[in-house]
Every structure is written in structure tokens, then in C-alpha cells.
Amino acid sequence: MSTPAVVESGAVPGHEPARPLPLLAVAGLLGVAATAFLALAGLGLGRNGRIVDLWFFTVSGLSERALGEATAVTLTMVALAVLAAAWFVLSAALHRGAGVGAVLLVGGLWALPLLAGPPLFSPDAYAYAAIGSAIQHGVDPFVQGPAAAGDIPGTRGAEDFWAESPTPYSPPFVVLLNLFSKVFSEDLLHFLVGMRVLVVVVWALLAYLVVRLARHRGLDPARTVWLTVANPLLLLHSVSGLHNDALMTLLVMAGMAAALGDRPYLAVTLVAAGASVKVTALALVPVIAVYAAWQLPEWSRRLRVLVGTGALGLAVFALGVQVSGYGWRWTENLDVPGKAVEPLSPPTALAVLIDYDDPPLDLVRGIGLGIGVLVCLWLLTRVPRWGLLTTAGWVSLTVVLSGAAMWPWYLTLPTVLFALTGRRGHAWMVTGWSVAGLFLALPGGQATLSLLSRPFTDGAVLVVLLALGAAAVWVRRRGRNDRAPEDQTPVERHSRARSSAT
């Protein structure tokens, strides 16, 4: 029985291939025009327009002061819509036979203006620099905010909230920020350039990993790259925004590749390393442990692998925290992001909707967290039926949705996981939130929803999420028999092989 060839593009066998070049050219030009405008206009929008020396150059003609707030925001929304349109034009080029190289080239062209521009859509990169710089002046970042270091140049770009708050980041990631600050002598701009170089390397490695995983799983690698590394949402918030989600995603996906290659101990080690960058990745260690155990036929061996891989993952994470030298007091700061009461978090939105003047945040968030834990535990029981990547995707998304804070870049890891499941419903889901997520923040670091009135915004967020939840249930029912061979247990693979032979 011959092995089916992997489909590399949208070309139809036996027909003269369509020419994707015109569509690729249109996608490239539209996307570059959009990202160039965003990179230039972002210097004068929101908080970026009120702080000097945040980047190597400024463009005063595109600032809020020159254009007016309404005009500046409208032009930004138009640019984001053009970028979304360019992404769909690139999708059309896939149907005409565009391959992996073409998709990566166009995505790289879109990224070029972002590489030359400042960190956009969030001030987090400036907070990273402030943390590293404050450590150089004796500040314990898990006890005090960077502002405790006084008026030093390295902290000038940090948002007031993060300048005055102790950090919730994992200690190993804080050690990395400290190292960057030392290497670049606390120079803010050089620190940001160094972070951008790191993110570009991470992005290139993630592209390589996504292509390998797609081919291994029999998926169209060009389509998978389009959904992931050439996704405008991920480009804007990783290549431009410099969020640590990019590094965390690379390490987690390397762990997923190791797990699918029957190397569970390496897999949990890599995922634990990802959790050292962003602790939410730790929720995926049990998913890999259950998946690895279920590949074995005897229950005794399953139990041994389950306990061994789970314990190793937790031990690697704990060792990284201990070696960092900061101990475990950082866990007291995990609620810091939730102090910013933003409507994108479902528990936060619900609390504000219950009582706008005095929202019961702690109660509703506690219930939301408890529900999230229960859902994740239930999802572990679905590993034998759903497979590794699908279960990991839903666990990752559950962690995001049940948290006290949520931002578009939190969807980086779920986007990559769901894109690699190969299910059409998951692809539609990723496409939907990727487009919607483009419009949830302004280049100057301001949340778009903050421009709207509350609690109307909170109610709208909950309605949208309920609709998406209903759609997710429909996706699960439609795609329950659509499973990749790599996600089936040995018993199922044997059964399917016998059925095919019969």
C-alpha cells in the first residue's frame, strides 16, 4: 500500500498550476504598506507620543498632536484592516500553488518595517528593560517595582503601573533580563535591539519547527506557516511587541515535537524551560505525561512513565527557579497583572458586569480559576481520544480564558498548537481570533476597548466569548473523527491498520 504524498500547496494534481505571483505581489505590497505605517505612526500614538527618546527616530507628522486623536485612531484601524486583507490575499495565493518559501518571504517582508520600528501595541518591552536596569541598582524585582531604583535612564519607558509593581515573571526570565541589561550597559535602545535580535532568531527557529511538524503530520506546510509565523497577530505582538510569549512558544513546541517523537522526558524538560519564561506553560506538562503514558499497552508501564515524566517536568522548573537565586516569593506577585481591570478577561468582564461600581473581582476570578482547573483536569481525560496537540491547545486556551488578565499576545501558543492539529474547524477558529485580535490594541500601547464605555464593553466581550464557545463545541463534534495518525494510541493505530487491510 503506497504512502500518500504530502500536499505542499493548493495546486490541483493533473491541471496546469495557477500562477500565484500576482497575488503574492499584492499581498506583499499591501502588508508592507500597512506595517510601515504602523511602525511610523506608533511613535506618536498613545503613551509613545508622550515620552521622549523611546526609539532612534520620531515621525511628528503622524502623531496624535498633528492628526488629532480621531484621525490617528481611524488611520491605524485602516492600516490594520489592510494588513488583515493582505493576509487573506496571501491565503488566496496558497490556493494557486504558493509554497512555503513564498509564504515565508511575504511574511518576512511584512516584518521588515516592524524590525526597524519601536516595540508596538504594548509597553511590556520597556518594562523588561526597566526590570533589568533596576536590578543593576540593587532592586529586588520581586519585592519592589523598577521605580524604586530612582530616576535612571533604563526605566524611562516603563508604564507607571509596571514601574511601581513587583514583577510576576518567572525568576529565570528575570535573570535573562538582568543579563541583557548587563550586556548592554543599561542602555534602553540597545536593550530593545538585543531583544529584537533574540525574537527574530526565535521566529526563524519556530518557522523551521512548524514546517517540520506540519510535514511529519501530513499537513500542508505552506498553509500551516500562513496560520502561524506569517500570521499578522503574531508578527505584531512578537516581532514588534517583543513579548516573552514567543520564546515560551518555541520551547513548548519543541517539547511537543519531542513528545510526538516518543521522547517524553526531553519533551517535559523543554516545556518546563518554557514555563521558566512564562509560568502558564507548566499546565502542559501533565498533558505530555498522560500522552506519553497512553502510548504504552501495560498499566504498570503507563503509571511509571506518567509519574516519571510529570515529576521530571516539575523538578526542572523548580530547579530553574531555585538556581535563579530569588526563591519562591515571586509567586506572591502572580496576581499583579489582574490589578489592571481589563474587559478581555472573561472573569474580570463578568465581575464588572455584576457590579460596575464595586466589582467582586476576587470572588469571580477565584471561581473562574477553579473552573479553569476543573476543565483542564477533564481535558487530561480526553488525551487518548483527542491526541496531544488538540488537548494541549484546549488546555492552553483554557488557561488564557480563566486568567485574571488577557491580551491578544496570550493567544500565541494556542494559535500554533491549533494550527498544527490539521483540523479545518481549528483553522477557522485561529483565523477568527487572529483577525479580531489585530484591532484590540493601538500601536502606542493603549487597549482599544478602553476607548469604549463600560460595562457595555464587558457585556459585549462575554457575548462574543459565549458565541465562540458554542462554535467550539460545534467544531469538536464535527471534527471528532478527524484525527492525525500521530495522535492515535498504539491500539487505535493497530485497529485502523487491520480495518484498512480488510
Q: Is 141 helix (H, G, I), strand (E, B) or coil?
A: coil
Q: Count of alpha carbons within 13 Å of 488, Cβ hemisphere only?
A: 15
pLDDT tens digits, 243-279: 999 999 999 999 999 999 999 999 999 999 999 999 9
Name the more confident of 17 and 243: 243
Q: Which residues of 302-311 are buried (b: 16+ CB within 10 A; e: fewer)?
A: beebbebbbe
CA 308 to chain centre: 29
Residue by residue, what is the 3-state secondary structure of 249-291? HHHHHHHHHHHHCCCHHHHHHHHHHHHHHCHHHHHHHHHHHHH
Grid-cell match 526609539, residue found: 55
Mean pLDDT over residues 428-433, rounded?
Answer: 93
Distance (Å, whole) CA 276 – CA 316: 9
* Cell numbers placing 34: 500597512
Where does the pLDDT of residue 156 fall: very low under 50, low under 70, confident under 90, or very high at 90 and above? confident
Which pTM was predicted? 0.90
Q: Is 441 helix (H, G, I), strand (E, B) or coil?
A: strand
Where does the pLDDT of residue 450 fall: very low under 50, low under 70, confident under 90, or very high at 90 and above? confident
The helix/strand count (H/E) of the chain reads as 22, 0
Q: Is 228 helix (H, G, I), strand (E, B) or coil?
A: coil
pLDDT recorded at residue 124? 93
Mean pLDDT over residues 19-47, rounded?
Answer: 90
Q: Which residues of 430-446 are buried (b: 16+ CB within 10 A; e: fewer)?
A: bbebbbebbebbbbbbb
Is residue 196 within 8 A of residue 242, CB to CB? The reply is: yes
Is residue 479 within 8 A of residue 424, CB to CB? The reply is: yes
Is residue 279 within 8 A of residue 286, CB to CB? The reply is: no
Distance (Å, whole) CA 75 – CA 63: 11
pLDDT recorded at residue 480? 56
Domain that holds residue 387: 21-494
**Confidence check: pLDDT of 72 > 60:** yes
* Cell numbers placing 154: 533604563
Mean pLDDT over residues 345-369, rounded?
Answer: 93
Please tell me the least confidently modeled range out of 84-88, 144-148, 166-170, 464-468: 464-468
Q: Is 95 helix (H, G, I), strand (E, B) or coil?
A: helix
Q: At what angle do helices 69-95 and 100-116 cross, to 10 degrees?
A: 160
Nearest Cα neighbor of 278 from 220, 227, 231, 317 is: 317
Q: Is 458 helix (H, G, I), strand (E, B) or coil?
A: helix
Is residue 229 within 8 A of residue 432, CB to CB? The reply is: no
Where does the pLDDT of residue 499 fall: very low under 50, low under 70, confident under 90, or very high at 90 and above? very low
Distance (Å, whole) CA 80 – CA 66: 20
pLDDT tens digits, 172-226: 999 999 999 999 999 999 999 999 999 999 999 999 999 999 999 999 999 999 9
Residue 13 forms part of a structural domain? no
Residue 182 forms part of a structural domain? yes
**Confidence check: pLDDT of 327 > 80:** yes
Residue 14 forms part of a structural domain? no
> Could you tell me the end-to-end alpha-carbon distance of the chain, in angstroms, rounded to an integer?
13
Mean pLDDT over residues 228-235, rounded?
Answer: 96
**Confidence check: pLDDT of 131 > 80:** yes
* Cell numbers placing 172: 529565570
* Cell numbers placing 316: 526542572
* Cell numbers placing 188: 534602553
**Total domain count for the chain?**
1
**Confidence check: pLDDT of 473 > 90:** no
Which residues are CB-neighbours of 349 under 8 A, at least 6 positions away?
Answer: 343, 457, 458, 459, 461, 462
pLDDT recorded at residue 453? 87
Residue 50 forms part of a structural domain? yes
Residue 53 forms part of a structural domain? yes
pLDDT tens digits, 45-69: 766 656 777 888 878 788 788 888 8
Mean pLDDT over residues 359-365, rounded?
Answer: 94
Q: Is 447 helix (H, G, I), strand (E, B) or coil?
A: strand
Mean pLDDT over residues 284-296, rounded?
Answer: 95
Where does the pLDDT of residue 314 fall: very low under 50, low under 70, confident under 90, or very high at 90 and above? very high
- Measured CA angle at 401 (ends 400, 404), to 5 deg: 85
Q: What are phi and psi of 210, to 5 degrees?
A: -65, -45
Mean pLDDT over residues 34-43, rounded?
Answer: 91
pLDDT tens digits, 91-108: 999 999 999 999 999 999
Residue 5 forms part of a structural domain? no
**What's the one-letter identity of residue 5?**
A
Residue 6 forms part of a structural domain? no
Distance (Å, whole) CA 225 – CA 9: 11
**What's the one-letter identity of residue 229?**
V
Strands of 78-149, DSSP E = none
Grid-cell match 522548573, residue found: 317
Mean pLDDT over residues 142-157, rounded?
Answer: 90
pLDDT recorded at residue 482? 52
Is residue 193 within 8 A of residue 159, CB to CB? The reply is: no
CA 154 to chain centre: 26
Is residue 71 within 8 A of residue 4, CB to CB? The reply is: no
Nearest Cα neighbor of 387 from 476, 271, 484 is: 484
Residue 207 forms part of a structural domain? yes
* Cell numbers placing 68: 488629532
**Confidence check: pLDDT of 15 > 90:** no
